[in-house]
Structure 1
Amino acid sequence: MALVVGRKAGEAIILENSRDDTQMRIEVIKEDGLLRLKIEAPKHIQIYREEIYGEQRKNRL
């Protein structure tokens, strides 16, 4: 499942797990040729850049 959303600086999206009410908030904080995102999540949620995540997964296998 995928969702494509347009957001401007200061706007956000909320991701929620309805099973345990865990929420993540992703806010666009800057757009000047390089998009900057602010991610707020509970401490038990690990956040990775995709290229780092792929490398770590490869190293675990």
Structure 2
Amino acid sequence: MALVRSVYNLLFRRTSTFAITIMVGAVVFERVFDQAGDAVFENINRGKLWKDLKHKYEEKEE
């Protein structure tokens, strides 16, 4: 209960800190969700993406 009380007093007691907590949480969630979605997409499509095939089509510069 001490941890819950500390978190409440630190983040949720005042409206201003509550709003900042929500905004920071939304930004962090968006970044994590985006990275996870990209990782899943690249894992499913491994071998079909441009980064996997471009060495076959690029000409070497001399």
- TM-score (normalizing by structure 1): 0.28
**Could you say which structure has the higher helix fraction?**
2
- TM-score (normalizing by structure 2): 0.28
Which gives a bigger RCO, structure 1 or 2 (Cα 8 Å, sep 6+)? 1
Between Structure 1 and Structure 2, whose CA radius of gyration is higher? 2
